A and B are shown apart, each in its own frame.
Chain A
Amino acid sequence: MTNCMVELRQITKQYDQNTVVDQLSLEIQQGEFMTLLGPSGCGKTTTLRMIAGFELPTSGEILLDGEIVQHRPAYQRNLNTVFQNYALFPHLTTFENVAFGLRLKKIAKSEIEKRVRDALKLVQLEEFSGRKPDQLSGGQKQRVAIARALVNNPKVLLLDEPLGALDLRLRKQMQVELKHLQQQLGITFIFVTHDQEEALTMSDRIAVMNGGKLEQIGTPADVYDRPVSRFVAEFIGETNLLTGTVKEIGQSRLVIESDGSALVAPAGIAVRELQDVTVAIRPEKALLSLEPPAAADSAVNHLPVKLVERIYTGVTTKTVVATHSGKQLVAHENTDQLLPVSAGDELFVTWNPAHSVVLTA
């Protein structure tokens, strides 16, 4: 790989007998916004800390811009970190916090002055350069932390759940700002979060981690539309999971029997006949209708269901229905065009077979 900025080769981290990161391999391209996504304890923060140099991998190699760095101390790696709790130096002003890295590099005073001003301008904090961290709001501290890291022109910026402590509105705003900043500067970002929505909004690619292992890596659309496992399907967005058995393996389609109905899914997944599989359907792909599709139209999946309840969420309404066997499914209806049914009424859930995702794991 010519443009590979960070490469992890078979990284493992163990604490005592506990394996936190297990044989993780990952390649991150120059200028890419890569998100490590997973529930707490999945090893994503440990992975980031190993890249930063705060933890030594038990085995495996870390390459930064082609150089093997896992034994190099943090202060000899050309990357910077934005910490979850910001970790601003409480005894220094905003200006001195941002200038910290440059002062260590013995850069001329006038240049430090200029670069710090530029960095503070970048995060719109020019007027706050004389304040101490305890005189700043959470969002401002966050910006100082970002400026303090970026002012050093790192090859890679590591961000450890940097937006976790901000309220929802500020979070959304900072997500957009961070993404713009990354595009503007062209720096490689490695972003750790447990918030799947954040990951989908910001990332070029997402590495979904679970139990110290890489579950799936791909673009936001890949992991959302084509999850490879139940874990990914359930962790990212809402999803309906139906268990079934493979009945027919055709050229272009699979037929899966679930709950007494035959469901069609696109081919392309390695399955054998009679294998137990899970079919995932996103709520927004599931449609509701009062009539079953025309008998000829076998190209549409449908399940007879009963309406359980409706949950108003604004533009859409979450409609919960149950199959004959009691399995609950969620479909999103347009709030302005709700079907004229009420709880207990019978109706059908239908969806395009292309939207059936067959999961074997």
Chain B
Amino acid sequence: MRLSLGRKAALFYAFLIYLFLYAPIAILITYSFNQSKLNAVWTGFTFDWYVRLFQNGEVLEAAKTTLVVALMSTIAATVIGTLAAVGMYRYKFRGKTALDSMLYLPLVIPEIVMGISLLALFSQIKIPLGYFTLIAAHITFSIPYIVVVVRARLDGFDRSLEEAAMDLGATPWQTFVKVTLPVIAPGVVAGALLAFTLSIDDVIISFFVAGPGSTTLPLKIFSMIKFGVTPEINALSTLMLIVTLIVVIIAERLRMNKNV
């Protein structure tokens, strides 16, 4: 079958768009397997850079920091964000609209502004920069994302389920644990996974609030780049990309599946 000219043009246009989106990533991944130290010439296939990466103590330390911070901040932000979402869904009170929108505001505050303000706060109250400040900062920017995702799930939640649970003798706490939470769980998990990826990838805010002993992977990459982009960085970036993608895919699948 012959394609019309317009259809050919449309296909070509789509091809260009995807090329634009994914060419940089393709190059990054490709050169992580390049034998040459230069990202310019392809000299042959190797896993060397990945091996080197796992022998680099500083990188492994940064990876550990990243995971610890992401895990802790995700757990804390998920608890706070879920309770906030449920509270905002359930109760009516004066000033609710204002408080509700203030929950989402951090989503649009420039990251650099948040980073600087957090740094200013921590130095004002004299908290030394380190794990604690890093985790606190990550909790701060994760909460709004969790609230958004959990609220979306709650929109389809039937209030009469909670009434039914109470009717059967469940206290408000039992109702929350046995009915509300299991029903909104896919939303909560999706929100948590989203917060986790945001925490793993964050550079700007972490740059301001990380201490000497608490360098995260993105910060590590950032500092390594000062000495030139090596295939080792490509390899590290590729691994981070894979981890993030896996988490995001799981989160999206949970978000889409409303029947769980």
> Nearest Cβ distance between residue A223 and chain B, in whole angstroms?
29
Which residues in B have their C-beta under 8 angstroms from that of A84?
Answer: 160
A152 close to B163 (CB less than 8 A): no
Within 8 A of B (CB), among A56-108: 73-75, 80-81, 83-85, 87-91, 100-101, 104-105
> Nearest Cβ distance between residue B153 and chain A, in whole angstroms?
12
- The verdict on B155 contacting chain A, using a C-beta distance below 8 Å, is no
- The verdict on A54 contacting chain B, using a C-beta distance below 8 Å, is yes
> Nearest Cβ distance between residue A172 and chain B, in whole angstroms?
25
Chief secondary structure at chain B's binding surface: helix
Which residues in B have their C-beta under 8 angstroms from that of A54?
Answer: 163, 166-167
Within 8 A of A (CB), among B169-190: 169-171, 174, 178-179, 182-183, 185
Most chain-B CB neighbours within 10 Å: which of A54, A75, A84, A105?
Answer: A75
What residue in chain B is nearest A54 (Cβ atoms)?
A: B163
A85 close to B169 (CB less than 8 A): no
- The verdict on A20 contacting chain B, using a C-beta distance below 8 Å, is no
- Kindly state the separation between the CA atoms of A350 and B169 in the bound complex, as whole angstroms: 58
Residue in contact with A83 in the complex, picked from B164, B183, B185, CB distance below 8 Å: B164
Q: Knowing A80-B167, A90-B183, A100-B168 touch, does A134 contact B160 (C-beta < 8 A)?
A: no
B170 close to A104 (CB less than 8 A): yes
A104 close to B174 (CB less than 8 A): yes
B160 close to A148 (CB less than 8 A): no
Q: How many CB-defined contacts (below 8 Å) exist between A and B?
A: 65
Which residues in A have their C-beta under 8 angstroms from that of B259?
Answer: 90, 134
- Kindly state the separation between the CA atoms of A134 and B258 in the bound complex, as whole angstroms: 12
Q: Knowing A75-B171, A91-B182 touch, does A83 contact B160 (C-beta < 8 A)?
A: yes
- The verdict on A52 contacting chain B, using a C-beta distance below 8 Å, is yes
Chief secondary structure at chain A's binding surface: loop
A89 close to B164 (CB less than 8 A): yes
A152 close to B168 (CB less than 8 A): yes
> Nearest Cβ distance between residue B157 and chain A, in whole angstroms?
10
A75 close to B166 (CB less than 8 A): yes
- Kindly state the separation between the CA atoms of A39 and B259 in the bound complex, as whole angstroms: 35
A52 close to B167 (CB less than 8 A): yes
Residue in contact with B169 in the complex, picked from A52, A87, A134, A152, CB distance below 8 Å: A152
B161 close to A89 (CB less than 8 A): yes
Which residues in A have their C-beta under 8 angstroms from that of B169?
Answer: 75, 101, 104-105, 152
Residue in contact with B179 in the complex, picked from A53, A89, A134, A152, CB distance below 8 Å: A89
Residue in contact with B167 in the complex, picked from A74, A85, A105, CB distance below 8 Å: A74
Which residues in A have their C-beta under 8 angstroms from that of B158?
Answer: 85, 87
- Kindly state the separation between the CA atoms of A91 and B153 in the bound complex, as whole angstroms: 14
A75 close to B160 (CB less than 8 A): no
What residue in chain B is nearest A134 (Cβ atoms)?
A: B259
A91 close to B183 (CB less than 8 A): yes
- The verdict on B165 contacting chain A, using a C-beta distance below 8 Å, is yes
Which residues in A have their C-beta under 8 angstroms from that of B185?
Answer: 91
What residue in chain B is nearest A85 (Cβ atoms)?
A: B160
- Kindly state the separation between the CA atoms of A89 and B178 in the bound complex, as whole angstroms: 10
Which residues in A have their C-beta under 8 angstroms from that of B183?
Answer: 89-91
Which residues in B have their C-beta under 8 angstroms from that of A53?
Answer: 166-167
- Kindly state the separation between the CA atoms of A104 and B179 in the bound complex, as whole angstroms: 12
Most chain-B CB neighbours within 10 Å: which of A53, A88, A90, A149?
Answer: A90
A74 close to B182 (CB less than 8 A): no
Residue in contact with B163 in the complex, picked from A83, A104, A105, CB distance below 8 Å: A83
> Nearest Cβ distance between residue B11 and chain A, in whole angstroms?
41
Which residues in B have their C-beta under 8 angstroms from that of A105?
Answer: 169
Most chain-B CB neighbours within 10 Å: which of A52, A87, A149?
Answer: A87
- Kindly state the separation between the CA atoms of A132 and B167 in the bound complex, as whole angstroms: 20
Interface string of A98-137 (1 = CB under 8 A from B): 0011001100000000000000000000000000001000
- Kindly state the separation between the CA atoms of A101 and B167 in the bound complex, as whole angstroms: 9
Additional 18 contacts, C-beta under 8 A, given A53-B167, A75-B171, A148-B164: A54-B163, A54-B166, A54-B167, A75-B169, A80-B167, A81-B164, A81-B167, A83-B164, A87-B158, A87-B161, A89-B179, A91-B260, A100-B170, A100-B178, A101-B169, A104-B169, A149-B167, A152-B168
Q: List 20 A-B contacts (CB under 8 A).
A: A52-B163, A53-B167, A74-B163, A75-B167, A75-B169, A75-B171, A80-B167, A81-B164, A81-B167, A87-B160, A87-B161, A87-B164, A88-B164, A89-B179, A90-B259, A91-B260, A100-B168, A101-B168, A101-B169, A104-B170
